[in-house]
Amino acid sequence: MKEDGAKGFKLYPPMGFYPWDDCVKPIIEKAIELDVPINASTITPPRNVVRLTEPVPLTAPAAITFPGGGGNLNATVNIVLPEGLELPVDLNMDVKLITSIPVQLDVPVNIPLAETELGPQFQRLGAIVDRLVDPIAPLLPMPETPPDSSKVGNSPGR
């Protein structure tokens, strides 16, 4: 895009090209990657129209130049846009797009399971397992104290 001298990218909805079309997505992604501005006015659907619900008075200064060296005239122009007039709306905002925001979080978290919403469910599961294991506990080789699950994977050699 930039090698060819592209200074911006504009979709033309009347020709059937919209930003949400699958065929346009790779072009928009490339424009963002290369930091080529995308004309935001094309993001609105075609034929955006505002209909006036009441008359709108407009006053604007005007500099009138008469042809053939007839001179200049500074004037004020007053017009009234009538109720019901349809006006096309075109938003033209060039916005630089950033596709990523680098974020790095290195926050150790230690939340005891008993303090979470899953705590009671695991306590019930433990009670069920205890009822199943208790009758055959004498036949199973069990350690004197249960292992500390918070140290799993932290012992030397692991």
Say what the pTM is: 0.28
pLDDT of 82-128, one tens digit each?
999 988 776 655 556 655 667 777 878 788 888 888 888 988 998 99
pLDDT of 36-69, one tens digit each?
777 755 454 555 778 899 999 999 998 888 888 8
Euclidean distance between CA atoms 68 and 70, whole angstroms: 5
